[in-house]
Amino acid sequence: MALSCLVDRRSLSKKRSPAPKGYRKALFLAYVLDWILIIIFIILFLLLEFTHPVRREFSLADKNISRTFHPTDTVSVPVVFVMAFFGPFVFILLIGLFIRRSPHDFHQGFLGLALTLSLTIAVTMLLKVTVGEHRPDWLDRCQPREGSVDPVYGLANIDVCAGNRSAAVIKDGMRSFPSGHTSFAFSGMTFLSLFLAGKLHIFDGRGLAIKAFICLLPLAAGLLVGATRLWDNRHHPVDIFIGGILGVLFAFFAYFQYYPHLSSRQCHRPFPPRVRRSRIGDHEEVHADLALQHGDGSEGGLSPARESSLIEKAEVTSEDAGESAMKHV
Query: Which pLDDT score is estimated for 14?
Result: 46
Confidence of residue 296 (pLDDT cuts 50, 70, 90): very low
Query: Which pLDDT score is estimated for 286?
Result: 44
Three-state secondary structure string covering 123-166: HHHHHHHHHCCCCCCHHHHHCECCCCCCCCCCCECHHHECCCCC
Q: What are phi and psi of 228, to 5 degrees?
A: -65, -25
CB atoms closer than 10 angstroms to residue 147: 6
**Residue 12 or residue 163, greater confidence:** 163
Q: Span 11-21, mean pLDDT?
A: 60
How far is it, in rounded angstroms, from Cα 262 to Cα 95?
A: 17
Query: Which pLDDT score is estimated for 23?
Result: 81
pTM above threshold 0.75: yes
Query: Which pLDDT score is estimated for 297?
Result: 44
**pLDDT tens-digit series, residues 61-94:** 999 999 999 999 999 999 999 999 999 999 999 9
Question: b or e along 239-270 (b: 16 or more beta carbons within 10 Å of the residue's beta carbon)?
Answer: bbebbbebbbbbbeebbeebbbebebbbbbbb
Question: Any residues with CB less than 8 A from the CB of 69 and at least 6 apart, and which?
Answer: 137, 140, 141, 165, 169, 233
Q: Mean pLDDT lowest for which of 157-171, 261-275, 284-298?
A: 284-298
Is the per-residue pLDDT at 166 higher than 70? Answer: yes
Give, to the nearest 10 degrees, the angle between helix 237-258 and helix 180-200: 40
% of the chain residues with pLDDT over 90: 73
Query: Which pLDDT score is estimated for 272?
Result: 93
- Is 115 within 8 Å of 162 (Cβ atoms)? no
Is the per-residue pLDDT at 208 higher than 80? Answer: yes
Is the per-residue pLDDT at 132 higher than 90? Answer: yes
Query: Which pLDDT score is estimated for 285?
Result: 45
**pLDDT tens-digit series, residues 133-142:** 999 999 999 9
- Is 52 within 8 Å of 157 (Cβ atoms)? no
List the beta bridge partners of residue 156. 58
Q: Where are the domains of the chain?
A: 31-258, 282-326
